């Protein structure tokens, strides 16, 4: 049977009757999903339509980034830019390079290729510094990475191999360049052991004069000599959701928490993010947040919490409308990972905007899907298991379920009660 015939057969399915509901039930109970958590609600009303263990808290993987990005938009504001500054030091000939938490700052000069889109450049910061110093390089550079001190690595949750050699996340220093990638233009490969030192060495090279490098903090009230700024938070949120960048997510989480009066420690940050959810009115029973990226297997979030947040984004509450706008999308003009929704599942077309997630215990997907009848459903599906690889059948099952929501989800709208499935 040709793929065209298969596609027509799927469109010819009963999309509103008992057959459609039976198919959705089967998909939601697919053994490949493991001990799944699923919730589907009507976008406009929030009425639950299909539930499976929707209130059971468990890990989220990178779907956690929707919570982090919602907090950044709410607390920092969409127009906020992260500054990296150079201030005058405590003694003549000394300057202090102050990290502001911008992991997108690049050590690549000029307009050279980088992993992040249109980042601020360290060479430009050096040029402005020299201009402020009358062209004479400093004799000493103090590197100030104190903003995130004590929150650089989650030892009890993260694996060292995720930094080196696999390169999923760096040490979360507030002073670093290119997410501390060995290759600033590639997401493949290791991160370094000293992101602050690497940034300082690059800055010194751009200044010239072989200045001494030291660690410390900026004098209180020191004169600002030069600065560069990141793109606005709303652009960083788009990049974070598109590439699922762990370094950027952790930085946004810490900056949001610090703006709320917290320290940079992971537990402190988690409590502040939980508080932001409560401010939005999102249910937080059972919620335990351990980082901003979703890498921690100890994170506990019910599907109902994620779906409620994304529904509020769909309704454009506060700054959350920007979150909905920046979810990755399927279709020829979308930014959803190209290996998602392949084969028969390409039938979903441009009907989905969502955030994906994966760690060894969960394949997750949460977002908004448009049915063939034109309705929008907000959903979260979390396939749970032990030691699942990235290409595990669970991921295909997640995609299959989402496609069936697109094709058959209109049948759920005619029900008086939610379809409740045993966990």
What is the rounded distance in angstroms from the CA atom of residue 106 to the CA atom of residue 120?
6
Q: Are residues 93 and 191 in the same domain?
A: yes
Q: Are residues 375 and 357 in the same domain?
A: yes
3-state secondary structure 353-377: EEEEEEECCEEEEEEEEECCCCCEE
Q: Are residues 98 and 57 in the same domain?
A: no
Burial of 216 (0-12, 13-18, 19+ CB in 10 A): middle
In tens, the pLDDT along 27-61 reads 999 999 999 999 999 999 999 999 999 999 999 99
Q: Are residues 102 and 66 in the same domain?
A: no
The 352-359 sheet, strands edge to edge = 328-329, 352-359, 362-370, 376-384, 37-42, 48-52, 419-421
Q: Are residues 284 and 416 in the same domain?
A: yes
* CA 39 remoteness from chain centre: 21
Q: Are residues 195 and 262 in the same domain?
A: no
Residue 48's closest CA among 59, 35, 39?
A: 39
Q: Dihedral, CA atoms, 98, 103, 104, 107, nearest 10 degrees? A: 60
Q: Are residues 141 and 92 in the same domain?
A: yes
Which tokens in the block code for residue 208?
């010239």
Q: Are residues 59 and 102 in the same domain?
A: no
Which domain covers residue 193, as residue numbers?
83-230
- Residue 4: per-residue pLDDT: 39
Q: Are residues 199 and 299 in the same domain?
A: no
Query: 3-class DSSP state for residue 397?
Result: helix
Q: Tokens 């992991």 belong to which residue?
A: 103
Residue 69 belongs to a domain with what CATH number?
3.40.710.10
Tell whether omega for the bond before 165 is within 30 degrees of 0, i.e. cis: yes
Contact 275, 257 (CB under 8 A): no
Q: Are residues 262 and 399 in the same domain?
A: yes
CA triple 38-373-354, angle to 5 deg:
40
What separation in angstroms does the CA of 72 have from each of 116, 179, 248? 18, 18, 11
What is the rounded distance in angstroms from the CA atom of residue 423 to the CA atom of residue 191?
40
When divided into structural domains, the chain yields a total of 2
- Residue 3: per-residue pLDDT: 35
What separation in angstroms does the CA of 310 have from each of 47, 317, 323, 338, 396? 14, 10, 8, 23, 22
Q: Are residues 123 and 48 in the same domain?
A: no
Question: Where a domain ends, among 230, 248, 267?
Answer: 230
- Residue 15: per-residue pLDDT: 67
- Residue 16: per-residue pLDDT: 64
Which tokens in the block code for residue 394?
């669970």
Q: Are residues 339 and 393 in the same domain?
A: yes
Question: Where a domain ends, among 213, 230, 247?
Answer: 230
Low-confidence ranges of the chain (pLDDT < 50): 1-13
Average pLDDT, the chain: 94
Question: Where a domain ends, among 183, 206, 230?
Answer: 230
């Amino acid at each position: 049977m040709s793929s065209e015939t298969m596609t027509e057969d799927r469109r010819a399915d009963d999309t509103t009757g008992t057959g459609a509901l039976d198919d959705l039930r089967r998909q939601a109970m697919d053994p490949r999903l493991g001990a799944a958590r699923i919730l589907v609600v009507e976008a406009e009303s929030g009425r639950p339509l299909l539930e499976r263990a929707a209130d059971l808290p468990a890990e989220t993987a990178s779907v956690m980034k929707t919570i982090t990005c919602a907090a950044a938009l709410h607390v920092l504001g969409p127009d906020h830019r992260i500054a990296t500054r150079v201030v005058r030091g405590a003694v003549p000939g000394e300057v202090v390079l102050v990290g502001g938490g911008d992991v997108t700052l690049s050590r690549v000069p000029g307009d050279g290729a980088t992993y992040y889109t249109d980042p601020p450049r360290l060479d430009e910061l050096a040029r402005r510094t020299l201009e402020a110093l009358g062209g004479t390089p400093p004799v000493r550079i103090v590197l100030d990475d104190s903003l995130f001190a004590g929150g650089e690595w989650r030892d009890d949750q993260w694996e060292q191999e995720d930094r080196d050699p696999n390169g999923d996340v760096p040490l979360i220093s507030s002073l670093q360049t290119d997410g501390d990638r060995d290759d600033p233009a590639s997401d493949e490969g290791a991160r370094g052991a000293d992101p602050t030192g690497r940034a300082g060495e690059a800055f010194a090279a751009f200044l010239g004069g072989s200045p001494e490098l030291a660690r410390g903090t900026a004098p209180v009230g020191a004169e600002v000599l030069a600065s560069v700024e990141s793109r606005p938070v709303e652009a960083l949120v788009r990049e974070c959701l598109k590439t699922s960048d762990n370094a950027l997510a952790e930085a946004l989480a810490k900056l949001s928490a610090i703006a709320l009066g917290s320290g940079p420690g992971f537990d402190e940050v988690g409590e502040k993010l939980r508080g932001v959810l409560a401010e939005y009115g999102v249910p937080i029973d059972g919620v335990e947040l351990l980082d901003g990226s979703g890498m921690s297997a100890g994170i506990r979030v019910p599907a109902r919490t994620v779906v409620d947040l994304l529904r509020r984004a769909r309704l454009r509450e506060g700054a959350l409308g920007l979150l909905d706008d920046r979810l990755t999308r399927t279709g020829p003009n979308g930014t959803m990972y190209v290996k998602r929704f392949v084969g028969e599942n390409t039938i979903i077309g441009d009907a989905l905007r969502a955030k994906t997630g994966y760690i060894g215990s969960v394949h997750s997907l949460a977002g908004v899907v448009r049915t063939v009848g034109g309705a929008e459903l907000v959903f979260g599906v979390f396939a749970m298991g032990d030691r699942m690889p990235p290409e595990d059948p669970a991921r295909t099952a997640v995609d299959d379920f989402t496609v069936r929501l697109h094709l058959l989800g209109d049948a759920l709208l005619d029900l008086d009660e939610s379809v409740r499935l045993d966990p």
